[in-house]
Amino acid sequence: MSYTIALAGNPNCGKTTLFNALTGASQRVGNWPGVTIDKKVGKIRGTSSELVDLPGIYSMSPYSPEEIVSRNFIVNDKPDALINIVDATNLERNLFLTLQLIDMGTPMVVALNMMDMVQSSGDKIDVDGLSKDLGVPVIPISAAKKTGIDELVTKIEQVAGSKSRPVPIRYGSSFESAVSAAEKALEGKVPDDSIRFYAIKLLEGDDDVVEKAPGARNGIKSAIDAFEDEFDDSADSIVADSRYNKIAEIVGKNVKRAPRDEQGTLSDRVDRIVTNRWLGIPIFIGIMALIYFIAMYDSTWGTSPGAWATGWLNDWFEGFGEDVAGWCEENNVEPWLSGLLVDGIIGGVGAVLGFLPQMIILFLCLVILEEIGYMARVAFVMDRLFRYFGLSGKSFIPLLVGIGCGVPGVMASRTIESESDRRITAMSVTFMPCGAKLPVIAMIAGALFGGSVLVGLYSYILGIAVVILTGVVMKKLKKFSGTPAPFIMELPPYHSPRLFNVAKSVFDRAWAFVKKAATIILLSSILIWFLCSYDFGLNMVDIGDSILAWCGEGLKYVFMPLGWGDNWEFSVAAITGLVAKENLIATMGTLFSVEEISEEGEEIWEVLAYLLGKAGALSFLTFNLLCAPCFAAIGAMHRELRTWKSTGFAVLWQCFIAYLVSVIVFAVYGTIVGQEVGTLSYVLCIVNIAIIAYLVWAKDPFRQLNDSEEVKTE
């Protein structure tokens, strides 16, 4: 038989790990909440049953969009059976959802996960007793070590086939009297097989149930009043207290805990340091500096592994290009084909792939931090800073996800309960340096700053600062106003990184980078080569007379105040970066290969040193870090913001703030290092500082926009 089985549980309880173990899939896992933001489907190995991995929820009263996905699937799609995965190290919290799922009446099995950690701590759980008290089968497993998986599959197939419904858990005569009254009021209005679930939700005043059964709650007002008077509390609080009292009773009977160290666990002791209100942020900065030192540092004092490998690979591509050029010359290959192979494909794609070693090392370090559980602490530490500026600390989780790729980072914003915070976060996630921007950071750091870790730190601090600036400004808009949602986050215990998970995550990210280089970047490089090698009459010409030069000559005046000078190549590269940020590197590789600006034997990226200088290069980096993201991320923003008007506003804001900040960076840093800064740049710098100050301190800088939207809405 083929069944549909839903996998439900709290965030960070091991759902995705269990999903991978059951289906053989390779979904991303992480030691922090919010990794799964939409349902995923796969076939359970050895069966014809379908398994649906749902986003993590703490209860069946959802607050955020991904929690609504889980509830709607369980309530409306009615799977044949449920696997409720429970963190065995934290039964008191996890069983709150379990009791609500039992009320649904859907056949289910409880998968008691992380039993290996329970055993290592010396605790003991009476699995049979727990199963008897809950009225559903309980299977001890370890999803990470894949123990108990076969028994779980056998049991869930039996439960789904027999359609054995769990026995409702009773909470006392007064509670059951109120539930009975609610059930009578709901008869014929909700499915009979889950009427108890709806009845309890009606007592709680659940908006979805109240809308589904109009007038039902008013019809039992006297029963609710009597219920609340007896316990001297609101109905929803009484229901929650009753559940937790039952959980305490069940856990007390079936769990025996080993004596605990008075100083707490190792995780507790480490957290006292890394989450300290004064040390937390400096420690985070120090860790990120160490990561960039390992990946990028290259100076007279030594070379990091990442910088050495990148230098070697760039030299290989340069030698390979020379060999291909020599072969083409010896065999009288047509000039256009030789140019396409050497300058277009090898020069463009090779320029991007040359940074792969540094990216692999960066990915490796970041994945290890995710695996051990440190990234969850960073979000906790940043909550205080974000809340000071009117944002929720939960906004930092999508920013952390966005370090890998902006698309899942934008999608992760749906885990935020507050609508205004969710929209602001979706608009600003891409200010953080994603994997596609890492080659740009490495290029600037290596070519002009000796691989200094300060360039990497500057990129992350700049991203966080502009996210905060965006939050401060957008909160002044009435459509984004509101109190930040409270940030309650479980800090998962530290654990050693699992070799397979780390290797797979790094491989997936590196392979995605290579695939993009072999597809989007390759096509873009060919197009750029064509545009810089031909004129409008399709005659092969020098680059100065090409189609691209004609376009760039018009664009360069827009970017001159940013310190890019008379070099139209950088303006064109910034525009092509909208397709994919790596494309910026490919474009420069193609242009400078064709133009032959660099001297013989000189690294092609060193043209930055004498074309832009340090201030111009830092401005170039700043603009491309902050301006509109790639098309894929813009599409993700549209899915979260839901209208093209809002998406367009977000893209314009990103380009606007990128230009403002880049002018300021060029003027200020140029003055510091003694680089020539034009009068126009100084004037715009002062104007831009005034604009930013006005946006920050003005009560409502977009008053006219708000008023026009209100009139339109009315």
- The Cα 325–Cα 337 span in angstroms is 10
Maximum C-alpha span of the chain: 97
Q: Each residue of 184-220: b (16+ CB within 10 Å) or e?
A: ebbeeebeeebbbbbbbbbbbebeebbebbeebbeeb
- The Cα 629–Cα 463 span in angstroms is 13
Identify the three-state secondary structure at position 85: strand
Residues in the chain: 714
DSSP string computed for 281-344: HHHHHHHHHHHHHHHH-EETTEE-HHHHHHHHHHHHHHHHHHHHHHHHHHTT--HHHHHIIIII
At 654-704, the pLDDT tens digits run: 999 999 999 999 999 999 988 888 899 999 999 999 999 988 888 766 654
Consecutive H or E run containing 111: strand 108-113
Six token digits for residue 115 = 């039993």
pLDDT of residue 139: 94
- CA angle at 408 for the pair 645 and 10, rounded to the nearest 5°: 115
Six token digits for residue 194 = 């889950």
Mean predicted confidence (pLDDT) in 507-515 = 86
Band of the pLDDT at 521, cuts 50, 70, 90?
A: confident
Six token digits for residue 43 = 């076939």
More confidently predicted of 265 and 380: 380
Distances (CA, A) of 709 to 86, 645, 695, 704, 712: 47, 12, 19, 9, 5
pLDDT of residue 629: 87
- The Cα 493–Cα 266 span in angstroms is 9
Mean predicted confidence (pLDDT) in 418-431 = 86
At 147-172, the pLDDT tens digits run: 999 999 999 999 999 988 898 899 98
Q: Which residues fall within 8 angstroms of residue 291, CB to CB, at 6 or more apart?
A: 362, 365, 366, 456
- The Cα 408–Cα 397 span in angstroms is 11
At 84-129, the pLDDT tens digits run: 999 998 899 899 999 999 998 899 999 999 998 898 888 999 999 9
What is the residue extent of each domain of the chain?
Answer: 4-162, 173-256, 283-713
The chain-wide mean pLDDT, for the chain, equals 84
At 285-295, the pLDDT tens digits run: 898 888 888 87
pLDDT of residue 121: 84
Q: Is the full-model pTM beyond 0.85?
A: no
Mean predicted confidence (pLDDT) in 2-22 = 88
The answer on pLDDT for 513 being more than 50 is yes
Alpha helices in 534-581 (DSSP H): 547-559, 568-576
The answer on pLDDT for 247 being more than 50 is yes
Closest by CA to 40, choosing from 6, 9, 82, 72, is 6
DSSP string computed for 352-401: HHTTHHHHHHHHHHHHHHHHHTHHHHHHHHHHHHHHHTT--GGGHHHHHH
Closest by CA to 525, choosing from 586, 605, 440, is 586
173-256 in CATH: which number? 1.10.287.1770
CB 51 within 8 A of CB 19: yes
Closest by CA to 355, choosing from 318, 313, 321, is 313
The answer on pLDDT for 324 being more than 60 is yes
Closest by CA to 251, choosing from 124, 140, 136, is 124
Position 457, amino acid: L
Burial of 712 (0-12, 13-18, 19+ CB in 10 A): exposed
Helix count and strand count (H, E) for the chain: 35, 10
- The Cα 238–Cα 310 span in angstroms is 62
pLDDT of residue 26: 59
- DSSP bridge partners of 125: 255
Distances (CA, A) of 79 to 24, 301, 434, 617, 633: 21, 62, 38, 56, 33
pLDDT of residue 708: 43
pLDDT of residue 32: 45
Six token digits for residue 423 = 């929209």
Identify the three-state secondary structure at position 631: helix
pLDDT of residue 489: 67
At 453-479, the pLDDT tens digits run: 788 888 989 999 999 899 888 888 767
Q: Which residues fall within 8 angstroms of residue 137, CB to CB, at 6 or more apart?
A: 109, 110, 131, 155, 159
CB 165 within 8 A of CB 106: yes
pLDDT of residue 478: 67
Six token digits for residue 431 = 């200010």
Mean predicted confidence (pLDDT) in 333-344 = 86
CB 489 within 8 A of CB 712: no
| pLDDT above 90 as % of the chain | 24
At 126-144, the pLDDT tens digits run: 999 999 999 999 999 998 8
Six token digits for residue 490 = 């479980």
Q: Which residues fall within 8 angstroms of residue 12, CB to CB, at 6 or more apart?
A: 31, 32, 33, 35, 56, 87, 490, 492
| pLDDT above 70 as % of the chain | 89
The answer on pLDDT for 480 being more than 80 is no
Q: Each residue of 633-644: b (16+ CB within 10 Å) or e?
A: bbebbbebbeee
DSSP string computed for 410-444: HHGGGG-S-HHHHHHHHHHGGGS--GGGHHHHHHH
Q: Are strands 108-113 and 81-87 parallel, antiparallel or unpaired?
A: parallel
At 382-417, the pLDDT tens digits run: 877 887 777 777 778 788 778 877 888 888 787 777
- CA angle at 238 for the pair 232 and 242, rounded to the nearest 5°: 130
CB 533 within 8 A of CB 338: no
Q: Which CATH number fits domain 4-162: 3.40.1690.10, 3.40.50.300, 3.40.50.970, 3.40.50.960?
A: 3.40.50.300
Q: Which residues fall within 8 angstroms of residue 363, CB to CB, at 6 or more apart?
A: 404, 435, 505, 506, 509, 510
pLDDT of residue 399: 84
At 546-563, the pLDDT tens digits run: 888 888 888 889 999 998
**Distance in Å from the first CA to the final CA of the chain:** 55
CB 174 within 8 A of CB 223: no
More confidently predicted of 96 and 335: 96
- The Cα 125–Cα 143 span in angstroms is 17
Alpha helices in 163-279 (DSSP H): 173-186, 195-204, 207-212, 216-219, 221-231, 235-254, 266-274
Mean predicted confidence (pLDDT) in 414-441 = 83
DSSP single-letter state for residue 535: -
The answer on pLDDT for 145 being more than 80 is yes
pLDDT of residue 447: 67
CB 455 within 8 A of CB 433: no
